[in-house]
């Protein structure tokens, strides 16, 4: 537990200092070296809160939060592991290590992190970087000052791209062009702040981004402001004892007072993230501002691949007055072989969990794949006229007309992602021709799953 007399101060551990952690004494030399090998390829940063309050060090090997935040040997394929391990043992230089890491990453994931070039809107002939407009009603905004997180999830490829600029000036400029775009697009009702984690921002920086909405000068049709964040799981003190906690909550309250529906989209991966006094207080304080909290997470091997984990998590979230929203299928991970789960099993995890909870918890939708045509929900596996199929539907579609129409794909026990599926009963999916027609114009080559 953290010291109760002093407000906890945020501290981050990563490759250069993790060995100083007292709990590392429990790991043997090989395990420590594995962290180093894998941590050179995948993101590694963990907050003192996660280390001291979430991970059960008596069972660290199988602890879900340890797996979520600490690199694990099996995240690398054996060949890649050998390459990196030999490079480190040979004492290769920093640039050489970095080059090898990049090479491995490219082989694992041909679409490197942070390239938010999909569905990038244009205003007055200029590309609006940091903005993504894929679904009619909702614009995603990646504020330049929110491109890191309090800890990194080992499955995520979106670790920091840029920091340390003149944050305030940058924020004002970005907000200016975002608001201009929204003024020209009154179909947009929802503005979603994502990242990284926008709640990494200090309150006075965040204020710059929402100033036009606070001032009432925005002249847009934005009605809901969403904030995607994993801060409640990785640093809840952001809303309790941090120096800017009150100011941040004040901004939430001010947006609500202005008439906005503000929804905090909280990323929770496991029920243990809901148990500490700090997160419980943080949730209460956020709710007291009039902001709603909706919850979402991908389903991942080694972390939350059991139905009981989800039913317990949804029930507990509802008990804390949060609203379960999405369960995602994760694709955009580097260590895909390590985290992935076949679609059928993913659906079973969802179904077994869903049927255990009451209707109040069944606001959750999933399992959902964010792919090029839209967000595709796996409704289930069914046999129709002797043929086993996946039943699917769009929760969100590139074309709003696609939403809600059930469609079918051939059953494939090994499929782990939408791209693995083939149409059943027909030679094309109903949306295929229209999707192909759009290809080359606005279509994304890959679609990044939005964690936050
Ligand atoms: C999920 C998502 C949204 C938000 O969709 P909702 O159905 O409104 O929650 C917006 N943009 C992208 C690209 C998304 O993946
Ligand atoms: S999944 Fe979200 S919280 Fe985790 S590292 Fe990625 S952006 Fe950060």
What are 323-346's pLDDT values in tens digits?
A: 999 999 988 777 889 999 999 999
Same domain, 201 and 342: yes
106-147 pLDDT, tens digit per residue, is 888 655 433 445 577 888 887 787 888 999 999 999 888 888
CB 300 within 8 A of CB 339: yes
Query: Quick one: pLDDT at residue 201?
Result: 95
Distance (Å) from CA 427 to ligand 2 centroid: 38
Closest residue CA from atom 7 of ligand 1 = 396
Query: Quick one: pLDDT at residue 113?
Result: 39
Same domain, 137 and 270: yes
7-19 pLDDT, tens digit per residue, is 999 999 999 999 9
Among 50, 78, 105, which residue terminates a domain?
A: 105
Least Cα distance to 198 among 240, 253, 150 occurs for: 150
Across 240-257, average pLDDT:
98
Ligand nearest to the CA of 372: 1
Least Cα distance to 40 among 91, 77, 94, 107 occurs for: 94
Classify residue 369: in a domain, yes or no.
yes
Same domain, 258 and 387: yes
Task: Measure the CA–CA gap between 122 and 136, rounded to whole angstroms.
Answer: 15
Distance (Å) from CA 256 to ligand 1 centroid: 21
For residue 452, is pLDDT > 60?
A: no
Residue 169 — pLDDT band, cuts 50, 70, 90? Answer: low
Query: Quick one: pLDDT at residue 162?
Result: 35
Q: Tell me which residues have their CB closer than 6 angstroms to ligand 1.
A: 132, 134-135, 138, 140, 190, 192, 370, 375, 396, 450
**How many domains in the chain?**
2
Same domain, 87 and 146: no
For residue 102, is pLDDT > 90?
A: no
Ligand 1, atom nearest to 395 Cα: 7
Task: Measure the CA–CA gap between 289 and 241, rounded to whole angstroms.
Answer: 16
Distance (Å) from CA 148 to ligand 1 centroid: 20
Distance (Å) from CA 147 to ligand 2 centroid: 10
Classify residue 2: in a domain, yes or no.
no
Classify residue 130: in a domain, yes or no.
yes
CB 311 within 8 A of CB 273: no
Classify residue 145: in a domain, yes or no.
yes
Same domain, 234 and 292: yes
Boundaries of domain holding 43:
12-105
Closest residue CA from atom 2 of ligand 2 = 451
Classify residue 433: in a domain, yes or no.
yes
Among 105, 125, 156, which residue terminates a domain?
A: 105
54-101 pLDDT, tens digit per residue, is 999 999 999 999 999 999 999 999 999 999 999 999 999 999 999 999
Distance (Å) from CA 327 to ligand 1 centroid: 13
Distance (Å) from CA 400 to ligand 1 centroid: 12
Closest residue CA from atom 13 of ligand 1 = 134
Query: Quick one: pLDDT at residue 450?
Result: 54
Q: Tell me which residues have their CB closer than 6 angstroms to ligand 2.
A: 149, 152-153, 156, 158, 195-197, 230, 267, 451-452
Strand order in the sheet with 374-384: 131-135, 138-141, 190-193, 224-229, 261-267, 292-299, 323-329, 365-371, 374-384, 387-397, 407-410
Question: DSSP string spanning 12-61?
Answer: EEETTTGGGSGGGGGS-HHHHHHHHHHHTTS--EEEHHIIIII--GGGGG
Same domain, 128 and 205: yes
Same domain, 88 and 144: no
Cα–Cα distances (Å) from 281 to 125, 197, 286, 320, in that order, read: 47, 20, 9, 10
Ligand 2, atom nearest to 159 Cα: 5
Same domain, 145 and 95: no
Same domain, 208 and 301: yes
For residue 299, is pLDDT > 70?
A: yes
Ligand 2, atom nearest to 149 Cα: 8
38-60 pLDDT, tens digit per residue, is 999 988 999 999 999 999 999 99
Query: Quick one: pLDDT at residue 227?
Result: 98
Helix spans in 192-301 (H):
203-215, 231-234, 245-257, 277-288
Tracing tokens 């905004």 back to the chain, one arrives at 141
Same domain, 341 and 203: yes
Query: Quick one: pLDDT at residue 2?
Result: 55
Average pLDDT of the residues of the chain: 90
Residues with Cβ within 8 Å of 6's Cβ and at least 6 positions away in sequence, in order, are: none
CB 378 within 8 A of CB 367: yes
Pocket test for ligand 1, best of 371, 447, 450, 451 (most atoms within 8 A of CB): 450
The two structure tokens encoding residue 85: 């391990």
Task: Measure the CA–CA gap between 4 and 183, rounded to whole angstroms.
Answer: 48
Query: Quick one: pLDDT at residue 447?
Result: 46
% residues pLDDT > 70 (the chain): 90
Same domain, 48 and 156: no
Ligand nearest to the CA of 189: 1
Classify residue 142: in a domain, yes or no.
yes
The two structure tokens encoding residue 397: 């579609």
Distance (Å) from CA 230 to ligand 2 centroid: 7
Ligand 2, atom nearest to 152 Cα: 5
Pocket test for ligand 2, best of 43, 116, 154, 230 (most atoms within 8 A of CB): 230
Cα–Cα distances (Å) from 134 to 30, 105, 142, 156, in that order, read: 45, 27, 14, 21
Among 87, 105, 123, which residue terminates a domain?
A: 105
Task: Measure the CA–CA gap between 393 and 379, rounded to whole angstroms.
Answer: 7
For residue 267, is pLDDT > 50?
A: yes
Pocket test for ligand 1, best of 119, 136, 137, 140 (most atoms within 8 A of CB): 140
Residue 238 maps to which CATH number? Answer: 3.20.20.70
Query: Quick one: pLDDT at residue 172?
Result: 62
For residue 444, is pLDDT > 90?
A: no
| For helices 307-319 and 343-354, angle between their N-to-C axes, nearest 10 degrees | 40
Classify residue 4: in a domain, yes or no.
no
In a 13 Å sphere around the CA of 402, the CA atoms on its Cβ side amount to 24
Same domain, 268 and 313: yes
Which residues face 329 on adjacent strands? 299
Ligand 1, atom nearest to 137 Cα: 8
Classify residue 1: in a domain, yes or no.
no
Across 407-436, average pLDDT:
94
Least Cα distance to 139 among 73, 91, 81, 183 occurs for: 183
Tracing tokens 């006075």 back to the chain, one arrives at 204
- pTM value is 0.93
Least Cα distance to 303 among 268, 275, 274 occurs for: 268
The two structure tokens encoding residue 381: 């596996």
Query: Quick one: pLDDT at residue 213?
Result: 96
Across 355-381, average pLDDT:
96
Ligand 1, atom nearest to 190 Cα: 8
């Amino acid at each position: 537990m953290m010291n109760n007399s002093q407000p906890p101060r945020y501290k981050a551990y990563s490759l250069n200092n993790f060995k100083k952690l007292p709990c590392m004494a429990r790991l043997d030399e090989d395990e420590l070296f594995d962290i180093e090998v894998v941590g050179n390829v995948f993101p590694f940063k963990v907050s003192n809160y996660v280390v001291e309050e979430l991970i059960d060090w008596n069972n660290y090997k199988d602890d879900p939060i340890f797996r979520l935040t600490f690199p694990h040997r099996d995240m690398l394929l054996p060949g890649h592991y050998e390459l990196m391990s030999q490079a480190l043992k040979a004492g290769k230089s920093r640039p050489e290590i970095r080059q090898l890491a990049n090479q491995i990453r490219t082989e694992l994931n041909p679409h490197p992190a942070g390239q938010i070039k999909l569905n990038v809107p244009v205003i007055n002939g200029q590309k609006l970087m940091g903005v993504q407009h894929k679904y009619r009603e909702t614009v995603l905004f990646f504020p330049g000052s929110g491109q890191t997180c309090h800890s990194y999830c080992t499955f995520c490829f979106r670790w920091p791209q840029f920091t340390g600029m003149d944050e305030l000036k940058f924020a004002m400029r970005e907000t200016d062009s975002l608001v201009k775009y929204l003024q020209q697009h009154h179909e947009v009702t929802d503005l979603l702040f994502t990242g990284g984690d926008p709640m990494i921002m200090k309150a006075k920086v965040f204020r710059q981004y929402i100033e036009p909405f606070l001032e009432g000068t925005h002249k847009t049709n934005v009605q809901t402001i969403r904030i995607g964040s994993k801060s409640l799981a990785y640093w809840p003190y952001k809303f309790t004892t941090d120096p800017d906690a009150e100011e941040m909550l004040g901004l939430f309250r001010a947006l609500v007072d202005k008439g906005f529906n503000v929804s905090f989209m909280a990323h929770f991966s496991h029920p243990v993230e809901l148990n500490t006094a700090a997160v419980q207080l943080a949730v209460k304080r956020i709710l007291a501002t009039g902001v709603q909290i909706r919850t979402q997470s991908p389903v991942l091997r080694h972390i939350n691949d059991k139905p009981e984990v989800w039913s317990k998590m949804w029930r507990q979230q509802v008990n804390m007055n949060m609203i379960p929203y999405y369960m995602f299928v994760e694709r955009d991970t580097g260590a895909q072989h390590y985290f992935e789960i076949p679609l059928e099993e993913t659906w079973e995890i969802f179904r077994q969990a869903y049927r255990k909870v009451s209707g109040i918890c069944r606001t959750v939708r999933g399992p959902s794949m964010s792919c090029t045509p839209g967000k595709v929900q796996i409704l289930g596996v069914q046999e129709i006229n002797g043929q086993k199929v996946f039943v699917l539907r769009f929760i969100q579609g590139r074309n709003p007309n696609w939403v809600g129409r059930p469609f079918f794909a051939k059953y494939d026990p090994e499929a782990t992602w939408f791209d693995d599926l083939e149409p059943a009963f027909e030679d094309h999916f109903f949306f295929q021709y229209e999707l192909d027609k759009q290809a080359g114009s606005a279509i994304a080559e890959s679609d990044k799953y939005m964690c936050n």
